[in-house]
Amino acid sequence: MWGCNEKTAVCMPRREFSLETHHGGTLISYLLLPQLFTVNIPALEQMNQILHILFIFLPFLWALGTLPPPDALFLWAMEQVLEFGLGGSSVSTHPRLLIMFIVSAGTAITSYFIPSTIGVVLFMTGLGFLLSLNLSEMGFVFKHSVTRHRVGTKSKALPSGSEKQLTWKECLFYIMILVLALLESALLHHFACCSQISKNSPQAIVGYILMVLLTTLWILREIQSVYIFGIFRNPFYPKDVQTMTLFLEKQAKLVKIGVVRRILLNLVSPFAMIAFLSLDTSLQGLHSVSVSIGFTRAFRMVWQNTENALLEIAIVSAVHMLTSSTDVWWNRSLDTGIRLLLVGIMRDRLIQFISKLQFAVTVLLASWMEKKRRKSTTTLCILNIVFSPFVLVFIVFSTLLSSPLVPLFTLPLFFVGFPRPTQSWPGVVGTAASVCADTVYYYQMVPSLTAALRSAMVAGSLGLLLPGSHYLGRFQDRLIWIMILERGYTYCCINIKGLELQETSCHTAEARRVDEVFEGAFEQEYTRICSINKHFGNVLTPCTVLPVKLYSDAKNVLSGIIDSHDNLREFKGDLVKVLVWILVQYCSRRSHIQGNVHKTENEGKASLIILPALNTSPQTQSSDDTDSLKSEISDDWSDDIFGDEPTTKKGKEEKDQLKVLQSINLPIPGSVESQGIDDHSVGKVPENSLYKAVLLGYPAIDKGNQEDMMYIPLMEFSCSHSHLLRLPEEWMSNCLPNSKMREMSSFFPEEWYQFVLRQLECFHLEENVPNVLEEIAKDRVLKDIYVHVVMTCYFSLFGVDNMDPSPGRILRVYKGVLPWSVALDWLAEKPELFQLALKAFRYTLKLMIDKASLGPIEDFKELIHYLEEYESDWYIGLVSDKKWKEAILQEKPCLFSLGYDPYMGVYTGRVLTLQELLVHVGKLNTEAVRGQWANLSWELLYATNDDEERYSIQADPLLLRNLTVQAADPPLGYPIYSSKPVHIHLY
């Protein structure tokens, strides 16, 4: 199938992509360049001739999208100079790039004018360290701390948080490192620097130490990952990673090794490299531009990217030992700073070349291995093999420009994309995403994922942390895309994206391949000591697993449980019990909240309350009364002939019900007050006002039964403390004939009611609590009130008939669609009671499933244990509810929802369980991601190919093409979640 969800990528205005919108301005700029050189200078005249030749190819290059637009060219040039000329790092926003470029360039220029050599060393060391720190976050934290301090001085109620203490500890650590670095560089430069270069000089000895450090750090980093070089299975990595406990036990040794690596990387290596640079003879003489630029970059790289700086210095030191002759151009014409700069550029371009070559080979293999299009792509594959030298030229040219290698329509037809910065997306990171209902799952897991990523980065499990690197995480149906935005001393800035959970054909095909790659690395038993990665040709290379606290999603079929007649028969009795428990708990909490506000003036006086007449003289129930009640249930709501289909016909009554429920603003629990009698909640109340409160909002009443409906006597509590558990007065109004209420009151579980009351523990009374609860339990007036409210709610949920409910009815009531009756109108006018009744119904359904799965309940204590667990550890509702999302963000331990699968014709239960589980993480080929994103923008902006079913966005298990398209920032892609820049501390 070709049905992919490319809905967002092609519907949004594509001309908003600022870095790739030409409007013809780029071509005109390039055409006018030759006219600028009008002075008769031989060099300029020769350049003028070259530009006239290049002029012929400009329209062709512009049509292919190879010419960069001015803004992209400007940002790319700044980023290249900042990274390779000044030792900085690419950053997450364009304004920060501009500011960092200006500050870094100013540092290099200032160092040129400092007359003292020791002053230059101190200046370069200090500024190199400071600029490599996360200054933006430190400034924000400092400003926040100052603000809190000022507020705290005015208001002593604000306690000092741990964030402020941690911030000062960090500042103290950085100050100590800076002071030690300045002292080391000044002392070594002043006392130990020698003018002659030899193999036994102090600088050469430090070079040997750096080579040993480089080898040690490389070994410690490689044994942290599951594969060495991405090919050979690491024999030190835990073999069993399917369970959390075993994995953490076996990883304990690797964690200790990671601590050693962290100390060597963050403390030992920088000071060793500063010693090497401070001892260099190039800093003894008069300064030149090359010395200022080279050493400014070198002192900055020591902190900004320690591992790469260590590699560069080790290479320069090794070359110096191999070619100690001063007649060699390398030693004669270049100082150490420029050598390090050249080695850094060659290192970066070599890594890019290897990555681009792997990407090109993967595209060829993907085109050949796809059987459906093998015939159409065979010719292109053969041409690539025949003209492989030209393909290599394109790869080399793309590598030199640090621009993406673009496969046209992701076919083996390559050309060079225009140079662009690492952040080739508009706007600030994390401001655009295709938010949907599934976004909340990524919101919840990001804090725990960030902590796990920090541990993995510190240990070295994710390899070299270079800006622009991409990682892919996988757990169940979730795919997490991680991109490194910025890298500095003891910090790393990342962006986390969440891909859609919807199961489309393309998404499923590539997700299955991702699972196969991770299973082959982590879940297979290896008999050999050093096995080989079977999925080496894939763009995804497994790295490690991360323990992350997130929700595991389990969907179960409830056939045999929800349609069992025995379970449905018990459901009715359990519902009454759950209603009693929930109402008692509600009143208990309500009285506790209002205890300090509403204190009784006359505690010894009995309270006068409204009581529906349940014990009045018996009256004969007429057949017309019963028939009228049964006819009040809507015929459209009744079940179909099978009793399983949950669909309903929404009549006028149901629509009115939904309108009423939607317009209700639910009050805060415990804040419900009686209407019109607020000031007489305990004392004696005039009888007329009571009748007005009762009659308010009554439905139409049959005059023949008016006496039966309206006889409501005034009764007094037999216990002085019963008012603590009384129900709100507006819930005591009648809506049913007393004859029907007397008939239904026989279902009320009196023993359970008294047991629940005796278990209460929330009263703060001076008297003996057990004796007080015993007296309250014996109060007949209070019991009759609960009988009235509980049985009225029961009637509104089930109706007057005493038949067992069908699964279809259970599902409809679970979703809040109740059968219409007079009691429903009564219940709809009381939104808080309606929510409590619906909550009791959902608890009862979960109780029925647990009883069928775990066995019957033995006694009342076990039943209360179940209900208390539902109250504290569960959210039982609908996935579409707003409270479902709130429960996930609050990290409720468990969530449950009932559903129906119309295709399978079965009822399903969805259970989310919060626990710490293992997330598989792998590193993606950076150039594969850049190339596919560049092709995506080329198609949408140059080829105007916005077809939702186009070939270049279909599933490709080798390239992970569809997932890569999704992960692009809007308007090119459509991730359902994208975080703001996340700063991770690496110490």
* Of 447, 380, 438, 379, residue with least CA distance to 411: 380
- Cα–Cα dist 749/746, whole Å: 8
Residue 409 φ/ψ region, left for φ over 0, alpha for ψ in the -120 to 50 degree band, beta for the rest: left
Token pair 């598989």 is found at: 920
- Cα–Cα dist 612/735, whole Å: 10
Give the pLDDT confidence of 316-369 residue by residue, as tens digits: 998 888 876 666 667 777 888 899 999 999 999 999 999 999 999 999 988 888
pLDDT at 762: 56
Sign of CA dihedral 58, 60, 61, 62: positive
Indicate if the pLDDT at residue 30 is higher than 80. no
- Cα–Cα dist 278/575, whole Å: 80
Indicate if the pLDDT at residue 56 is higher than 90. no
From residue 297, how far is each of 131, 184, 291, 489 by CA, in Å?
Answer: 11, 19, 10, 15
- Cα–Cα dist 342/386, whole Å: 34
Tell me, letter by letter, the H, E, C secondary structure of 296-339.
HHHHHHHHHCHHHHHHHHHHHHHHHHHCCCCCCHHHHCCCHHHH
Work out the average pLDDT over 95-102: 92
Indicate if the pLDDT at residue 442 is higher than 60. yes
Output DSSP code: residue 893. S
Indicate if the pLDDT at residue 625 is higher than 70. no
- Cα–Cα dist 463/544, whole Å: 10
Indicate if the pLDDT at residue 695 is higher than 70. no
Residues 235, 237, 242, 248, Cα dihedral to 10°: 140
Indicate if the pLDDT at residue 675 is higher than 70. no
At 154, the pLDDT band (50, 70, 90 cuts) reads: very low
pLDDT at 948: 72
Share of the chain above pLDDT 70, in %: 76
- Cα–Cα dist 263/460, whole Å: 12
Helix pair 306-322, 289-304: axis angle to 10 deg? 130
Output DSSP code: residue 441. H
By the 8 A CB rule, do 485 and 495 touch?
A: yes
From residue 90, how far is each of 74, 113, 353, 842 by CA, in Å?
Answer: 14, 27, 20, 53
User: Which residue type occupies 417?
Assistant: G
Indicate if the pLDDT at residue 844 is higher than 50. yes
Across 26-35, 204-213, 355-364, least confident range: 26-35
At 456, the pLDDT band (50, 70, 90 cuts) reads: very high
Across 167-176, 192-201, 871-880, least confident range: 192-201
Give the pLDDT confidence of 233-279 residue by residue, as tens digits: 888 888 777 777 778 887 888 888 999 999 999 999 999 999 999 98
Helix pair 94-113, 117-131: axis angle to 10 deg? 170
Indicate if the pLDDT at residue 698 is higher than 50. no
Q: Which pair of structure tokens corresponds to residue 536?
A: 């080496």
Q: Which pair of structure tokens corresponds to residue 555?
A: 């969907």
Residue, of 625 and 366, whose pLDDT is higher:
366
Indicate if the pLDDT at residue 599 is higher than 50. no
* DSSP for 90-117, written as a single string: --SSHHHHHHHHHHHHHHHHHHHH---H
By the 8 A CB rule, do 336 and 293 touch?
A: no
- Cα–Cα dist 236/222, whole Å: 10
Exposure class string for 749-784: b at 16+ Cβ within 10 A, else e? beebbbbbbeebeebeeeeeeeebbebbbebebbbb
Indicate if the pLDDT at residue 715 is higher than 80. no
pLDDT at 526: 59
**How many other CB atoms sit within 10 Å of the CB of residue 125?**
26
Indicate if the pLDDT at residue 17 is higher than 80. no
pLDDT at 236: 85
By the 8 A CB rule, do 690 and 714 touch?
A: yes
Q: Which pair of structure tokens corresponds to residue 154?
A: 């005015």
Residue, of 797 and 260, whose pLDDT is higher:
260
At 74, the pLDDT band (50, 70, 90 cuts) reads: very high
- Cα–Cα dist 864/768, whole Å: 23
Across 697-706, 880-889, 919-928, least confident range: 697-706
pLDDT at 324: 65
- Cα–Cα dist 899/906, whole Å: 9
CB contact set of 107 (below 8 Å; sequence gap of 6+):
86, 123, 124, 127, 131, 296
By the 8 A CB rule, do 907 and 807 touch?
A: yes
pLDDT at 232: 87
By the 8 A CB rule, do 964 and 929 touch?
A: yes
- DSSP 3-state of 280: coil
* Of 608, 794, 741, 748, residue with least CA distance to 683: 608
Q: Which pair of structure tokens corresponds to residue 661?
A: 């429920």
Give the pLDDT confidence of 271-285 residue by residue, as tens digits: 999 999 998 888 877
By the 8 A CB rule, do 712 and 699 touch?
A: no
Give the pLDDT confidence of 934-951 residue by residue, as tens digits: 998 888 877 777 777 777
Using a 10 angstrom Cβ sphere, with 0-12 exposed, 13-18 middle and 19 or more buried, the burial of residue 670 is: middle
pLDDT at 746: 77
By the 8 A CB rule, do 782 and 826 touch?
A: no
**How many other CB atoms sit within 10 Å of the CB of residue 147?**
10
- DSSP 3-state of 502: coil
Exposure class string for 472-506: b at 16+ Cβ within 10 A, else e? bbbbbbbbbbbbbbbbbbbbbbbbbbbbbbeebeb
Most confidently modeled range among 94-103, 150-159, 163-172, 519-528: 94-103
Give the pLDDT confidence of 644-658 residue by residue, as tens digits: 444 444 444 444 444
Work out the average pLDDT over 701-721: 52
Output DSSP code: residue 81. I
At 481, the pLDDT band (50, 70, 90 cuts) reads: very high
* Of 488, 380, 487, 498, residue with least CA distance to 437: 498
- Cα–Cα dist 61/26, whole Å: 11
Indicate if the pLDDT at residue 707 is higher than 50. no
Residue ranges with strand state E in 726-824: none
- DSSP 3-state of 739: helix
- Cα–Cα dist 506/524, whole Å: 26
At 194, the pLDDT band (50, 70, 90 cuts) reads: low
Phi, psi (deg, nearest 5) at residue 535: -110, 40
Cis, peptide link before residue 971, omega less than 30° from 0: yes
Residues 580, 582, 588, 589, Cα dihedral to 10°: -170
Residue, of 212 and 251, whose pLDDT is higher:
212
Indicate if the pLDDT at residue 593 is higher than 90. no
By the 8 A CB rule, do 889 and 444 touch?
A: yes
